[in-house]
Amino acid sequence: MVLLGLLGVAIAVLVSALGSHGATTEVRASPGATRSAPARESRPEIYVHLLGQVEHPGLFVLHDGDRALDAVAAAGGFTPTADQGKLNLARPLVDGEQIVVPAIGEAPPVVSGLPPPGSGASAAGGKINLNSADQAALETLPRVGPALAQRILDWRNTNGRFTAIEDLMSVTGIGEKTFDGLKALVTV
């Protein structure tokens, strides 16, 4: 009974700390410890792991379409020593990503086996992830120049995540022939 009371207090503190950002439906600080807040929408859930200079590092369940700002808010905000300039707060989040907020003067860590931050490329068999790729990564694809890469990014910003690679066919300028040349090189 005492455990339930403590869990209730923890939920109230979390909801209060998040204020208007309310980005999480669940926070997992350690195995077996789960705190829930009311779900705000029916958007698909994504998991994001925050480490470094945030008040409450951990694994957070956010929603598709949330941004790095929402992840930082879910973690209680930056610590006073956080180098806030190292994180693009407007960047859309990707399911399964890890965000490390460095301290002032500290270089962002290099995570083995993963592309460098901002590369936009996916480690999944060398394929480009349409949901996390930046313009430079998209331009590495055959028949994709700056204009088409920008249209892919615009489509993603307007419509949300690509749910299937076939969604590329909805991007102006990508017909069946171009799609056939891209489908083996991309993932969602």
How does pLDDT run across 43-52, given as a tens digit for each residue? Answer: 888 888 888 8
Measured between alpha carbons, how far is 69 from 91 in angstroms, rounded to an integer?
8
β 58-63/97-101 pair status: unpaired
- Whose tokens are 């956010």? That residue is 62
Statement: residue 106 has pLDDT above 80: yes
- Where does the chain show beta strands of DSSP type E? 26-30, 33-36, 45-52, 58-63, 97-101, 128-129, 186-187
Q: Amino acid letter at 21?
A: H
Structure pTM?
Answer: 0.43
Each residue of 110-123: pLDDT tens digit?
Answer: 443 334 444 444 43
Q: Which DSSP state fits 111?
A: P
Name the 3-class secondary structure at 176.
helix
> What confidence category does residue 21 fall into, taking pLDDT thresholds of 50, 70 and 90?
very low
Q: Amino acid letter at 27?
A: V
Measured between alpha carbons, how far is 83 from 188 in angstroms, rounded to an integer?
31
Statement: residue 62 has pLDDT above 50: yes
Q: Tell me the two tokens of residue 137.
A: 């990564």
- Whose tokens are 């694809």? That residue is 141
Could you tell me which residues come within 8 angstroms of residue 21 by beta carbon, excluding any fewer than 6 positions away? 69, 70, 73, 74
- Average pLDDT value for the chain: 74
What domains are there in the chain, each with its CATH number?
2-101 (no CATH), 128-187 (1.10.150.320)
> Residue 90: what pLDDT?
83
